[in-house]
Chain A
Amino acid sequence: SQKIEQNSEALNIQEGKTATLTCNYTNYSPAYLQWYRQDPGRGPVFLLLIRENEKEKRKERLKVTFDTTLKQSLFHITASQPADSATYLCAFSGGWGKLQFGAGTQVVVTP
């Protein structure tokens, strides 16, 4: 079965730097890969979607890459701010659109 792995250790980063998160998977490449942000006590919030045949997607200070050879997606937050502190989840879109999530990586941005 598909396994999705994200860094389990929290990523501590200084304000203004670029945060880079990884999402690795074991088997087939999904047609779509999505990234969500989750704050404590809240539901996940959609950030970006990247298709299997896309190499890169950007939205404001966010960038996602998708390498089907390495079976990896990278998520970058440039010029990070304390308000970016949250847990970031990658997810595969499966049949019907149901999502299979990784465990998430916590990002802590310090001033």
Chain B
Amino acid sequence: GAGVSQSPRYKVAKRGQDVALRCDPISGHVSLFWYQQALGQGPEFLTYFQNEAQLDKSGLPSDRFFAERPEGSVSTLKIQRTQQEDSAVYLCASSLAGSNQPQHFGDGTRLSIL
């Protein structure tokens, strides 16, 4: 497709369950980012991939969060043993390489932990 695609759009899980969020970036985009957005706040950086290499995971809140991009295209963000504080919108963005490049965002996955 023409833009960044994320699935599912909505996910409801019980506390303690594992969840997996998918991101399909724009074809040819080297850089892929995951962000977490709480209600009324700006997105917060979680992790960054350049092709298949995870170069920065400094924003991941705990070791329950894990991200991968094994073939340098599709990426998955996994959250293990979910907690209520994990409830948020998870945004994926892709771009060409470089800090001067605009990022193209998907519409996010809204995660609700009951």
| Size bin of chain B's contact surface | 20 to 34
Residues of A that sit less than 8 Å from B by CB: 4, 31-32, 34, 41-46, 49, 51, 89, 91, 93-104
- In Å, the complex CA distance between A95 and B56 comes to 9
Bound CA–CA A93/B101 (angstroms) = 9
Count contacts between A and B, CB distance < 8 Å: 71
Q: Which residues of B contact A32 (CB under 8 A)?
A: 99-100
B 4-41 binary contact with A (CB < 8 Å = 1; else 0): 10000000000000000000000000010101000011
Bound CA–CA A10/B45 (angstroms): 24
Pairwise interchain contact A94-B105, C-beta atoms closer than 8 A: no
In the A-B complex, the 6 residue pairs with the smallest Cβ-Cβ separation, listed nearest first, are: A101-B42, A43-B105, A46-B102, A97-B99, A93-B99, A43-B107
B4 to chain A, nearest CB (A): 7
